Amino acid sequence: MKRRALTTRPGGKAATAAAAFAGLIAVSGCSFGGIASLPLPGGPDTGSNPYEVKVDFANVLDLVPQSTCKVNDVSVGKVTKIQLQGWHAQVVCKLRRDVKLPDNAVATIGQTSLLGEKYVALSAPTQEPASGTLGQGDEIPLSRTTRTTEVEEVLSALSLLLNGGGIEQVSTITQELNAAMHGREDTIKDVLRQVNTFVGTLDKQKAQITRAIDSIDRLSGKLAAEKQTIADTIDKAGPAVEILKQNRADLTQMLVSLGKLGNVTTNVINQSRDDLLANLKSLEPLLINLNRTGSNLPKGLELLLSYPFPPTYTNAQVGDYANIHMTIDLDLKNLAHNLLGGTALDGQLAKQSDQLRAQLKPPQITIPQSPLGVLPAGLTSPGGLSGGSSGGTGTGTTGGALPPLGSAEPGVQTLITGGLS
């Protein structure tokens, strides 16, 4: 019996591997969904009892199944399915049961690095308080999902800026600025200093500016509160406007007449200007003298209430008698100065007074002084002051002599001597 040596044809090992793979597919049945359905080595562990949530994205970029789901950069699940839902994409995420998220959670498609893989980042909302708990079958709508900017988009925008934007014009702008500022450095520095002063002043006045803005805010609030009142006032002003409209011709005529009156008044003032200025100049000495009087004029006006007596006249009259000490100055010079002071007549009357004083000499009058208790000659006491009894024939004393002081009654003696013994 001849034995044949076993030979292996080229490609035999590959055929064997293919047959084994085909057997694996046959064993798995219809549940195989392609290579993407196989779990990746080192992928996140979702545990034995995970739950699924649906996340709607307007654009999932290049997110693929088996991508990671993260919370605070910690892998907590994976993407199991990406499907088209209307005009947007719907991503099904399988999360661990111990992951607790609010019912209004937000989702973002992030990227691990500049050229890294995409992942779904889940987090609590930052614009509103968290509420509820995310559970099995819940859906995060489009309004709460976003995506990061792609590197391609950044490079495209940078290319547009460099090629068709303003970068290429920076050199031209710089040259024009240098040409405009050349020779004007001092002016530009002065403008900058003024701007600095202005900004500093605004900074110092910021409290007042804030108060002004607050006052305007309060005013606006009051106007808003009185809005209905203002509206009613405007509505009720309609009849008044109608009356003004009806009397428009009269109002126009009145304004025209006022214009004519103004023209006449202007002409009168222009024509009488010289006379008015002359009158004012004539009043100048009077006003100067009034100013010189100072407080004397008000005091002098007080005399009008008690003329010809001084204001203190009431102090001299007590009861049924009065004590008056009066000094009458009839000197012409003093009278002229008091009544016509500051005028031309004052000087003229003063000269005439000096001449009159030189011509007149006061008379020399001697008033006899009688001794105490003796009446002037020719005067007798009432009743003759006769001595003796009522039936006697004695004659009265002559020469104005009074009875001896010792013989007078005590009351008369006291009156004559003033109480002196």
| pLDDT (tens digit per residue) in 244-282 | 888 999 999 999 999 999 999 999 999 999 998 999 999
Q: Which structure tokens are listed for 283?
A: 């009043």
- Give the model confidence (pLDDT) of 372-393 as tens digits: 656 555 555 444 444 444 444 4
Residue 396 and residue 384 in contact, taking contact as beta carbons nearer than 8 Å: yes
Q: At what angle do helices 332-340 and 344-359 cross, to 10 degrees?
A: 170
Q: pLDDT tens digits for 154-179?
A: 888 877 777 766 666 777 888 888 88
Which pTM value belongs to this model? Answer: 0.35
Summarised one tens digit per residue, pLDDT across range 40-83 is 665 688 888 999 999 999 988 889 998 999 999 899 999 999 99
List, in sequence order, every residue forming a beta bridge with 317; answer none if it has no partner.
322
Q: Are 338 and 321 in contact (CB under 8 A)?
A: no
- Per residue in 333-356, pLDDT (tens digit) is 777 777 777 677 777 777 777 777
Express each pLDDT in 400-412 by its tens digit.
Answer: 444 554 454 555 5
| Whole-number average pLDDT of the chain | 77
Return d(Cα 266, Cα 271) in angstroms, integer.
Answer: 9
d(CA 6, CA 1): 15
Contacts of 342 (CB under 8 A, 6+ apart): 285, 286, 288, 289, 292
User: Residue 254 and residue 265: Cα distance in Å, rounded?
Assistant: 16
Q: Which region among 101-115, 318-332, 361-375, 397-411 has the lowest average model confidence (pLDDT)?
A: 397-411
